Amino acid sequence: MARDLIDTQWRIETAEGVTLTLTPAGLVPRAYAYAIDLAIRCAIFVALIIVMEVTEITEKFGAGLLLLVAFALEWFYPVVFEALRGRTPGKAALGLRVVTTDGAPIGFGASLLRNLLRVTDFFPFGYALGAIMVVATPRFQRFGDLVAGALVVHEGRVEEARSARAAGPAAPLSVPLDVDEQRAVISFAHRRELLGARADELALLTGDATQGDASARTAALVAAARWYEGRR
Amino acid sequence: MSRALFQERMREAEAAVEADLQILERGGELSDPLEFAARYRGLASTLSIARHRRYDSALVDRLNALVVRAHTALYAARLGRSARDGLSVLLFEFPRRVRALPGPLLLSVLCFFGTYLAAFTWVRLDPQAAYALMPASYLDGLAEMYDPKGRIQTTERTLDDDLTMFGFYVWNNVGIAFRTFGASLFLGVGSILALVFNGLYIGVGHAHVVERGFGESFHAFVLGHSAFELFAIVLAGLAGFHVGFAFLRPGLESRSRAVLLRAREVLPILWGAFAMLLIAAAIEAFFSPRDLPFGVKLAVGSVNAVGLLSFFAFSGRETRAPR
């Protein structure tokens, strides 16, 4: 299909013989997720300091504890969350998940690799190299992801559009359509709410297949979509 | 079959998988895990059929998302590794991997101990060179630390001090080891720099402290843990070299795949170096500062060094078939 050329999806074939489609996450959601995780890590650290102030743990013991916590937060916070839950809290907030390139959940080893290599991706400052890699690689992988064989993907929980379920008249278009064209009409009907005013503009491009003004053409397309879906 | 009828028929199967997933994703147990696997396979074939019939993306995407979640839940099971497995990796697989890579090991030893020895010799021959190589504040700080008449090497050290230092050693030393590996992807140059810099720091510092006449208290302090600590850094460098050089000599694989495979090979070494540094930090914080006779320190240090070397030389050598 021609759309394979331009989309960013990654297809994997599982042992069950079915092809799964994963949607790798780009730079921006990942940057937001990182920012949230950073805030959480700082909050844990500050909270610990406050707790120690309040409970008056001796200064030196507290300093040792703080350093251990700083170490764990720096190196193992992402590893533990990714290996046990598939994502850090920041990634969960953005609906992201870390998986291996064959779609399976990531383990401790691979997660450790991708997080240790943050040193490389951070180079020379502020994850500059990692950002370039995410933008430049087809599956949006920084060095750590490439080495660990990992992907950061959008966790798909797709809700069917309301318009797709709404009842209404169903009638085919006056012109016979092939399967791909029918599919396009159905997709149009499902995305009508998202498209807003653009839906009418698109409907005007259907030529002889529909008649009347823009809203009449849109209604005809939606009715046709119901027909092709078999809801008649 | 029309799309609407298809959707109607699969709704039940979809709901069953969704119900199972609700339990699994909260960490619960299913009453019949095999049934879940069967449901997953059924849903997977439903997805294939939906794709084949070119149903619209709303339907296919929703099914795909559900199958991906089920796939994740199903294969999460294979991650379960017992603690015993982890221990056998550390005790047997770790030294085996180190022995399998003599080239990178030699290079790492040369980068680190070579620089160490060179810096040490240089500063012993020309004590003033220390000030050319390192900032005076670093050298004075070191000297103060190991001055037996100073305020730091005292017998009044408490458990609190030990804990503070344990935290510091873990944070600092493991951080150094992890960074040594993490910088490896620049063709291994990052690891070379990390090893050379650390060798230089320690070599100059060592020579300078001896030069000031605090050699005995310095040696008494470092003997116990140095074998674990220094060798762990060398191993982190080894791991870095093995991965970094995959760019230069990928062998029969593509470069990206060579890096991926080699990273997997060195994982036990990284875990091992981490464990060694934890041991080193514990010794350094709780044993090294104790005011014991020099002979005891020397004995413990020697046992540690010999034990560690024979661990790497012999452990995991039995002919038992690898997993």
Residues B207 and B309 in one domain: yes
**Which residues face A20 on adjacent strands?**
A12
Residue B79 has pLDDT above 60, yes or no: no
Is residue A180 classed as helix, strand or coil in its secondary structure? helix
Residues A94 and A57 in one domain: yes
Residues A80 and A141 in one domain: yes
Taking contacts as CB-CB distances below 8 angstroms, the residues of chain B near A65 are 163, 167
Contact A224, A173 (CB under 8 A): yes
What is the pLDDT, as a whole number, of residue A1? Answer: 41
Domain hosting residue A83, numbered range: 4-154
pLDDT above 90 as % of chain B: 37
Residues B126 and B270 in one domain: yes
Paired tokens of B292: 């014991």
- B186 or A50: whose pLDDT is higher? A50
What is the pLDDT, as a whole number, of residue B84? Answer: 66
Candidate from B56, B79, B167 with C-beta closest to A67 = B167
What is the pLDDT, as a whole number, of residue A2? Answer: 40
Taking contacts as CB-CB distances below 8 angstroms, the residues of chain A near B171 are 67-68, 70-71, 74
Residue B233 lies in a domain: yes
Taking contacts as CB-CB distances below 8 angstroms, the residues of chain B near A170 are none
Residues A110 and A221 in one domain: no
What is the pLDDT, as a whole number, of residue B3? Answer: 75
Residues A51 and A122 in one domain: yes
Taking contacts as CB-CB distances below 8 angstroms, the residues of chain A near B184 are 120
Cβ <8 Å between A187 and B54: no
**Which residues face A152 on adjacent strands?**
A98
What is the pLDDT, as a whole number, of residue B148? Answer: 78
Chain A contact present for B290, CB below 8 A: no
- B107 or A52: whose pLDDT is higher? B107
Taking contacts as CB-CB distances below 8 angstroms, the residues of chain A near B161 are 60
What average pLDDT does the structure give for chain B? 86
Closest-CA distance, B94 to chain A, in angstroms, reads: 14
Cβ <8 Å between A183 and B56: yes
> How many domains does the structure of chain B reveal?
2
pLDDT in tens, chain A (232 residues): 444 556 778 888 887 778 888 889 999 999 999 999 999 999 999 999 888 888 877 677 778 888 899 999 989 999 999 988 889 999 999 999 999 888 888 888 889 999 998 988 888 888 999 999 999 988 999 999 999 999 999 986 555 555 556 678 888 888 888 877 888 888 888 888 888 888 888 888 888 888 888 888 988 998 888 888 777 6
Residue B199 has pLDDT above 50, yes or no: yes
Residues A138 and A31 in one domain: yes
Q: Using CA coordinates, name the residue in chain A closest to B269.
A: A109
pLDDT tens-digit series, residues B218-256: 898 898 899 999 999 999 999 999 999 998 889 899 988
Residue with tokens 């005995």: B216
DSSP state of A103: S
Taking contacts as CB-CB distances below 8 angstroms, the residues of chain B near A159 are 62
Residues A196 and A119 in one domain: no
Taking contacts as CB-CB distances below 8 angstroms, the residues of chain B near A68 are 166-167, 170-171
Q: What is the mean pLDDT of residues B41-55?
A: 86
Residues A143 and A216 in one domain: no
Contact B268, B235 (CB under 8 A): no
- pLDDT level of residue B152 (50, 70, 90 thresholds): low
Residue B323 lies in a domain: no
State which of B79, B113, B136 marks the end of a domain: B79
Residues B16 and B163 in one domain: no
ω into B95 cis (within 30 of 0): no
Residue B58 lies in a domain: yes
What is the pLDDT, as a whole number, of residue A165? Answer: 61
What is the pLDDT, as a whole number, of residue A93? Answer: 94
Residue B22 has pLDDT above 90, yes or no: no
Residues A130 and A31 in one domain: yes
Q: Which residues contact A211 (CB under 8 A, 6 or more apart)?
A: A217, A220
Chain B, 145-184: which have a CB under 8 Å from a chain A CB?
158, 160-161, 163-168, 170-171, 174-175, 178-179, 181-184
How many CA atoms lie less than 13 Å away from B53 in the CB half-sphere? 17
SS (H, E, C) chain B: CCHHHHHHHHHHHHHHHHHHHHHHHCCCCCCCHHHHHHHHHHHHHHHHHHHHCCCCHHHHHHHHHHHHHHHHHHHHHHHCCCHHHHHHHHHHHHHHHHHCCHHHHHHHHHHHHHHHHHHHHHHHHCCCHHHHHCCHHHHHHHHHHHCCCCCCCCCCCCHHHHHHHHHHHHHHHHHHHHHHHHCCCCCCHHHHHHHHHHHHHHHHHHHHHHHCCCHHHHHHHHHHHHHHHHHHHHHHHHHHHHHHCCCCCCCCCCHHHHHHHHHHHHHHHHHHHHHHHHHHHHHHHHCCCCCCCHHHHHHHHHHHHHHHHHHHHHCCCCCCCCC
What is the pLDDT, as a whole number, of residue B25? Answer: 78
Interface predicted TM-score (ipTM) of this complex, two decimals = 0.81
Counting beta carbons within 10 angstroms of the beta carbon of residue B82, is it exposed (0 to 12), middle (13 to 18) or buried (19 or more)? exposed
Residues B87 and B16 in one domain: no
Helix (H) or strand (E) holding A75: helix A59-75
Cβ <8 Å between B167 and A180: no
Chain A contact present for B4, CB below 8 A: yes
> How many domains does the structure of chain A reveal?
2
Using CA of residue B94, residue B99, residue B100, residue B106, what is the dihedral sign?
A: positive
Residues A137 and A216 in one domain: no
Closest-CA distance, A211 to chain B, in angstroms, reads: 24
Chain A contact present for B59, CB below 8 A: yes
Contact A136, A85 (CB under 8 A): no
Which residue pairs, CB below 8 angstroms and at least 24 apart, start in A145-149? A145/A114, A146/B256, A146/B259, A146/B260, A147/A113, A147/A114, A147/A117, A147/B185, A147/B243, A147/B259, A147/B260, A147/B263, A148/A106, A148/A110, A148/A111, A148/A113, A148/A114, A148/A117, A148/B260, A148/B263, A149/A100, A149/A101, A149/A110, A149/B260
The per-residue b/e assignment along B187-206, b for 16 or more CB within 10 angstroms, e otherwise, is ebebbbebbbebbbbbbbbb
pLDDT tens-digit series, residues B154-170: 556 677 778 888 888 88
Domain hosting residue B200, numbered range: 83-314
Residues A26 and A48 in one domain: yes
- B274 or B31: whose pLDDT is higher? B274
Residue B319 lies in a domain: no
Residues A47 and A121 in one domain: yes
- How many CB pairs lie under 8 A apart between chains A and B? 170
Cβ <8 Å between B57 and A187: yes
Q: What is the mean pLDDT of residues B103-113?
A: 95
Closest-CA distance, A130 to chain B, in angstroms, reads: 12
Closest-CA distance, A214 to chain B, in angstroms, reads: 23
Q: Are strands A96-100 and A10-13 parallel, antiparallel or unpaired?
A: unpaired
Residues A98 and A138 in one domain: yes
